[in-house]
Amino acid sequence: MKKRIMAMVMLGCMVLTATGCGSKSSAKTAKTAGTGAAVFNGKLESNVKIRVLENDTAISKGYFKELIDAFNEKYKDKGIEAVDANMDQYLDLANDGPYGYGPDVLYQANDVIMKYAEGKHILPLPVEELDCYDQIPETAWKAYQTKKEGKTYTCGVPVNVQAPQLYYRKDLLPKDWESKWDQDGDKVPDMVQTWKSMYAFSKERHKEDAKSYGYMKSLNDMYFSSGFLFSYGGYIFGKDNTDPSDIGFAEGNAEKGAWVLSQLASVMNEDCIDDTITTNAYSKLADGTYFATISTPDVYSTFLGELEKTYEAEGDTKDEAEKKAKDNLVMTTLPKLPESGSLTDQSDKTIDSKSMGGVNGYAISSYTKAPNACLEFVKFATDYKMIKKRAEMLGIAPAREDTAKKMGGTSSQIYENLDKGNIVLMPSITEVAQIWTPGKTFFVDLAKDVFRTDNKKKYKDEGAMKKGLKDMCDQIREAITTLQ
């Protein structure tokens, strides 16, 4: 498959080179080995400044400084200098780039980068030249591929993977969990391994103390809730998320996912209808009201900080609190789902949980004056050493297999899930912008339904849920097509 992609990219490049001949850039078309845009001719521009737009966290935690310092040191003799572009993360390359205001290299989520690819505002890259090419799984590369005039181009280099994780507190487990909540005897509590156990545990915890809950998460967030649909065969767009005429949230047995969500909502409270739980989760997990929730890996430090504060308030010293919080706060992959969709039936058959995710990575602006120097920077920033440093300093889950394996823990779990296809990457086509609000509306309605009186309930069975999902798909389709 990789070979086929390579061949396609190379073919694309040849065509690009040919088209480039008739234009102003024809002087730059003398091409060495490699694919990507014609401008990547291997001749490093000298005495250039590359403006790099990095992620805010990477800047605030000092990683970016280390990266550009190391790069500038290495390329001092060649007259290439990388600097902070000093721009807002939510820039508009399409409008600023042509006038020389955009960055040369940008680090963004795949959906943002690919939005630019549609208007050719970023360059297709000769990715197989990069050290990381074989280390990054095909799914991650696919997130950066686009088809133009029938050919496939790769427009970004994956760096880190984002996917929802389950957060729970070990010290809130019942004392007898090893005898009661570890049926398979693998020393891992059942409730963080299967949603069925999580449901049973949540019910029990709430029954014992009306103020306490087990698993809590607002349903209104499409990013987290849609994973339940994907697990049972739902998808966003057809043909690997590239065909917006095929909207698949209701496909397969997606209604089972909606049913699981609605069963989970029944052991929460009304807070799951709006974003109350999402905003409260940090403090409520810390004060023990909630046992578990799901969120992205990048907020781990916020959960940790809140928990430390609670322990300190309970009388622990700062060091003790820090250690205790690190021991007790666990971030892990999502539990498995019941094949039947029922959280109460007797069957033990399970399926893997899928979730929506994203890949952040580097791209090069089409408007840069020094494309080859920029490519050199991207090569440097995505090599093993830098990605490892990035993972260590920022706690990200790398898209590179070697670094993920080396980091172990959640990083390698996320990598494995990505490799297995359990992380559904956000589509790279612009139509994806239309899925959020209809999706949110459906999930709010689904959550609300749990608390409606019986005669007002809309989603009484799986059929009704399927219909609700179909309506949501229709709404998305209308939003996409009505005005085209």
Q: Is 51 in the site for other proteins (CB under 8 A)?
A: no
By CB under 8 A, tell whether 274 contacts other proteins: yes
Please state the closest distance from residue 238 (CB atom) to other proteins, in A: 18
Q: Could you say which residues in the range 418-457 bind other proteins, by CB under 8 A?
A: 430, 433-434, 436-438, 440-441, 444-445, 448, 451
Question: Would you count residue 196 as binding other proteins (CB under 8 A)?
Answer: no
16 is a site residue for other proteins (CB under 8 A): yes
CB nearer other proteins, residue 199 or residue 367: 367
Residues 126-165 that bind other proteins (CB under 8 A): 148
Q: Which stretch binds other proteins (CB under 8 A): 118-126, 234-242, 297-305, 308-316?
A: 118-126
Q: Which residues of 383-407 are buried (b: 16+ CB within 10 A; e: fewer)?
A: beebbbebbebbbbbbbbbebbebb
Q: How far is the CB of 437 from other proteins (least distance, A)?
A: 5
Q: Which residues contact 425 (CB under 8 A, 6 or more apart)?
A: 110, 139, 140, 142, 143, 241, 357, 358, 359
The answer to whether residue 19 forms part of the interface with other proteins (CB under 8 A) is yes
- Picking from 121, 79, 77, 75, the residue whose alpha carbon sits closest to that of residue 102 is 121
Q: Are 99 and 91 in contact (CB under 8 A)?
A: no
The footprint of other proteins on this chain (CB under 8 A) covers a number of residues equal to 50
Contact between 236 and other proteins by CB under 8 A: the answer reads no
Minimum distance from residue 445 beta carbon to other proteins (Å): 6
Nearer to other proteins, 296 or 441 (CB): 441
**Interface pick for other proteins out of 78, 120, 388, 470 (rule CB under 8 A):** 120
- Does position 124 interact with other proteins (CB under 8 A)? The reply is yes
Judged by CB under 8 A, the residue of 38, 307, 378, 435 near other proteins is: 38
CB of 15 to other proteins, least distance (A): 9
Query: Given the complex with other proteins, which of 350 and 441 has the nearer CB atom?
Result: 441
Q: Does 93 bind other proteins (CB under 8 A)?
A: no
| 316-322: long-range pairs with CB below 8 Å, 24+ | none
Between residues 270 and 320, which has the closer beta carbon with respect to other proteins?
A: 270
Q: In angstroms, what is the minimal distance from the CB of 197 to other proteins? A: 27
Stretch that binds other proteins, among 15-23, 73-81, 247-255, 313-321 (CB under 8 A): 15-23
User: Could you say whether residue 302 binds other proteins (CB under 8 A)?
Assistant: no
Decide: is 367 part of the binding site for other proteins (CB under 8 A).
yes
| Short-list 340, 337, 313, 338, CA closest to 324 | 313
What's the closest the beta carbon of residue 240 comes to other proteins, in angstroms? 20
Chosen residue from 353, 366, 372, 382 binding other proteins by CB under 8 A? 366
Residue for token digits 């959280």? 343
Give 44 or 94: the residue with its C-beta nearer to other proteins: 94
Q: How many residues does the chain have?
A: 484
Q: Is there binding between residue 474 and other proteins (CB under 8 A)?
A: no
- In this complex, which beta carbon is closest to other proteins, that of residue 246 or of residue 471? 471
Strand 145-148 and strand 157-162: the pairing is unpaired
**Euclidean distance between CA atoms 120 and 366, whole angstroms:** 7
Minimum distance from residue 121 beta carbon to other proteins (Å): 6
Residue from the set 242, 269, 342, 412 that interacts with other proteins by CB under 8 A: 269
Binding to other proteins by residue 409, rule CB under 8 A?
no
Using CB under 8 A as the binding rule, whether residue 20 contacts other proteins is answered as: yes
Binding of residue 479 to other proteins (CB under 8 A): yes
Q: Is 34 in the site for other proteins (CB under 8 A)?
A: no
Q: Which is nearer to other proteins, 45 or 352 (CB)?
A: 45
Out of 98, 180, 345, 348, which residue is the one contacting other proteins (CB under 8 A)? 98
Contact flag: residue 25 with other proteins (CB under 8 A): yes
In the complex, the smallest distance separating the C-beta of residue 20 from other proteins, rounded to whole angstroms, is: 5
Binding site for other proteins (CB under 8 A): 16, 19-20, 23-26, 28, 37-39, 94, 98, 119-121, 123-124, 148, 269-271, 273-277, 279-280, 366-367, 430, 433-434, 436-438, 440-441, 444-445, 448, 451, 471, 475, 478-479, 482-484
